[in-house]
Structure 1
């Protein structure tokens, strides 16, 4: 796996200050976190990792629970999209798929925005959120329903066409022209992967992507034995819901299995961004290729920090993990090549408070613009992806040319994120503090 690199004298000088800033998050009187993990990469290797707090909160246990460490797994939310994108790029290399072909040809039914019926929707558009697809009122549906019920006119979940953008206000939101982040894009991608391979999405990702990378991570918690489940961190939020209350501190939002083995033939249907209730459903009668939303290709990967290093290694080496080529350098370059840039003079997308201004096939570039920036006083450009769901916040961002980057994760928030938007960016306050601590320490020169 990724080589260890000794910090430079300047980096070593900043580490104590960084550690103090990170540990302060655990005891913040207003917005604490239960646990965290951070890593810094430089010269193509791991230069630092640090962990603090708890992965699992058990008030009666010694120390209050299980410490958060490099082997703690967590539902990494939207960083999962990057792994799903890797699977697409592998199929491109095998000649089984074309990023610029009409995606409906791979689905087996027409994929068209009824407001722009003449414009094909391609995989490149789906990967880069320029497809004109929208999450609508629901984007993950039960195993007995086919994806067509979401996307075709008259479908069970196609309510007033809310899964496609319109242009009634005069704005051109046709496929390929307008950016709007939507999880359903990756549910469609998951369905395509199943249809082309004949393999269920979670199994495809495990056998074709994760295991070849040397990872025990999975999109299906049923893959984990009791020992592995003991290393899976629930994601927490404040029990109070609105304000931090130390007398009623934490409530698990997801993945609180208490060490009980989960069946592989069940799946948890989740729509976290829409506030939907999580529902456990049986896969006994599921037909592969019907509904790739089941295993949350957009957010359902459970992975550890140690395992996340393999993704950083793959990108920083141009496609290698542990000396084995898993993706061509050309494919890596394609992922890191933006398809869309925000144009403030002629708004061509939803920038999410300025956070998203540059996006490629599965990769988001922070350009150090007015609000898509990691630091308040200094410009630094990195590419990767954020993760956010149920209280988790995470980010993996890299500078491939210089062999450097950062990763951070917190497994819960002690206050609503809606009350803690960033001071100088479109990130949340927790992320600004984490990124500032890491970048000021390890890359103080820019």
Structure 2
């Protein structure tokens, strides 16, 4: 006679094995289709993470971390993620708002420490909220790697940094906005920008990453590659991880901040970026701690401008996956293309980072990004 406990254990084991086999088949099918996407766009490597029901259910890395040495990419490797970094800066600002150190309606120039006014509209205050939502009327036409460009005391051509429309009445994506925002974080917190983000976002969420190259394990950096259509070859982009040690030696708090690139300089793995995404998916809470309030997390995700669907360093996307509303951000620099998008109501999301592709665009998004996220959606959500 079979003991009841044995029968129960056997049943549980069979169910587990069946679930394992189904999951294995699902992963293999997803990986086969994802590899086809990579081949289509000549991707060097890619790391992905899939979140379902608020939890990471799948991570995988494809291709090469180092093309020349044929070093495989792993889930532990970290990328410079480009403009997704802006959401870390915005999250930091909202923490300071919640602590009463500033307001979203504060004069941007008063916070930065020199006059920031569009000379065509000198009486119109440019607010911190306008900078966070790219409605400030600032532009990157003169660059964005130091603050002298827009400082009237340092640059007689500072007016070129402004567009012709009234602040708050138009949208133009602008990296300078967020390098200026980084200086405000330093002035109001008393902490160097990279350390503030580490202490108030990364450590509480138990994430490995940061903006300062020398504070990270360089053996984990993923090489980034620019694609050249004329030769159909890739070339490495070492500037992505330039340590800028001399500049940091002479650092001026509240002014030298663009050295760390609050607008694009975060380095992190796809898996840890997905954990950060879960925090925003949960409206400000992750790893058992509250990073920002639900009110401000929702504000980041709420579009300010209708056409671009942009909020505060996060945007809505209604045309990335057909008939699916998403919130998130993309990034591109040095040949890298990064993607973070999620649905906060249904608690699913995707992180996809590639270190080099033959990039073509349809609308706002690279065709690789669109194909990659739809492939993962088909396999894991449908």
TM-score calculated relative to the size of structure 1:
0.76
Q: In the alignment, what sits opposite 2:15?
A: none
Following TM superposition, by how much is the alpha carbon of 1:254 offset from its aligned partner in structure 2, in angstroms?
2.9
CA contact (8 A) 2:85 2:265 kept: yes
Following TM superposition, by how much is the alpha carbon of 1:316 offset from its aligned partner in structure 2, in angstroms?
2.2
Q: In the alignment, what sits opposite 1:153?
A: 152
- Structure 2 vs 1, CA of residues 11 and 176 (structure 1 numbering), >3 Å: closer, same or farther? farther
CA contact (8 A) 1:233 1:255 kept: no
CA contact (8 A) 1:233 1:256 kept: no
Matched, 1:53 2:63: yes
- Structure 2 vs 1, CA of residues 27 and 397 (structure 1 numbering), >3 Å: closer, same or farther? closer
Alignment of 1:8-27 (within 5 A): 15-27=27-39
Q: In the alignment, what sits opposite 2:189?
A: 197
Following TM superposition, by how much is the alpha carbon of 1:151 offset from its aligned partner in structure 2, in angstroms?
1.8
Q: 1:436 aligns with which of 364, 374, 379?
A: 374
- Structure 2 vs 1, CA of residues 441 and 8 (structure 1 numbering), >3 Å: closer, same or farther? farther
Matched, 1:232 2:216: no
Q: Structure 1, residues 20-51: CA drift from partner, whole Å, max 9, x if none?
A: 221124444xx311111112211111122221
- Structure 2 vs 1, CA of residues 129 and 11 (structure 1 numbering), >3 Å: closer, same or farther? farther
CA contact (8 A) 2:65 2:223 kept: yes
Alignment of 1:212-227 (within 5 A): 212-224=204-216
Q: In the alignment, what sits opposite 1:421?
A: 361
CA contact (8 A) 2:204 2:287 kept: no
Listed as ranges, the gaps of 5+ residues in structure 2 are 1-17
Q: In 2, distance between residues paired with 1:401 and 1:430? A: 26
Q: 2:265 aligns with which of 291, 300, 305?
A: 300
Q: In 1, distance between residues paired with 2:186 and 2:201? A: 14
Q: 1:363 aligns with which of 310, 314, 317?
A: 314
CA contact (8 A) 1:192 1:292 kept: no
Listed as ranges, the gaps of 5+ residues in structure 1 are 1-5, 142-146, 167-172, 268-280, 343-356, 368-372
Following TM superposition, by how much is the alpha carbon of 1:135 offset from its aligned partner in structure 2, in angstroms?
0.8
Following TM superposition, by how much is the alpha carbon of 1:307 offset from its aligned partner in structure 2, in angstroms?
1.4
SS in 1 for 2:249: coil
Q: 1:374 aligns with which of 291, 295, 320?
A: 320
Q: 1:242 aligns with which of 190, 206, 229?
A: 229
Q: In the alignment, what sits opposite 1:98?
A: 103
- Structure 2 vs 1, CA of residues 309 and 435 (structure 1 numbering), >3 Å: closer, same or farther? closer
Q: In the alignment, what sits opposite 1:169?
A: none
Q: In 2, distance between residues paired with 1:12 and 1:381? A: 29
CA contact (8 A) 2:340 2:349 kept: yes
Q: In 2, distance between residues paired with 1:287 and 1:237? A: 32
Alignment of 1:38-437 (within 5 A): 38-59=48-69, 64-65=70-71, 67-141=72-146, 147=147, 149-153=148-152, 155-156=154-155, 159=157, 161-166=159-164, 173-224=165-216, 228-238=217-227, 241-243=228-230, 245=232, 249-254=233-238, 266-267=244-245, 281-342=246-307, 357-367=308-318, 373-375=319-321, 378-413=322-357, 415=358, 417=359, 420-422=360-362, 425-437=363-375
Q: Structure 1, residues 258-293: CA drift from partner, whole Å, max 9, x if none?
A: xxxx86xx35xxxxxxxxxxxxx5222222112322
- Structure 2 vs 1, CA of residues 11 and 235 (structure 1 numbering), >3 Å: closer, same or farther? same
Give 1 or 2 for the bigger CA radius of gyration: 2
- Structure 2 vs 1, CA of residues 27 and 399 (structure 1 numbering), >3 Å: closer, same or farther? closer
Q: Structure 1, residues 229-254: CA drift from partner, whole Å, max 9, x if none?
A: 1111011123xx22464xxx432113
Matched, 1:33 2:38: no
Structure richer in helix, relative to its length: 2
Following TM superposition, by how much is the alpha carbon of 1:55 offset from its aligned partner in structure 2, in angstroms?
1.2
Q: CA RMSD in A?
A: 2.4
CA contact (8 A) 1:195 1:289 kept: yes
Q: In 2, distance between residues paired with 1:182 and 1:336? A: 18
- Structure 2 vs 1, CA of residues 233 and 255 (structure 1 numbering), >3 Å: closer, same or farther? farther
Following TM superposition, by how much is the alpha carbon of 1:72 offset from its aligned partner in structure 2, in angstroms?
0.9
- State how many pairs are aligned: 365
SS in 1 for 2:323: coil
Q: In the alignment, what sits opposite 2:10?
A: none
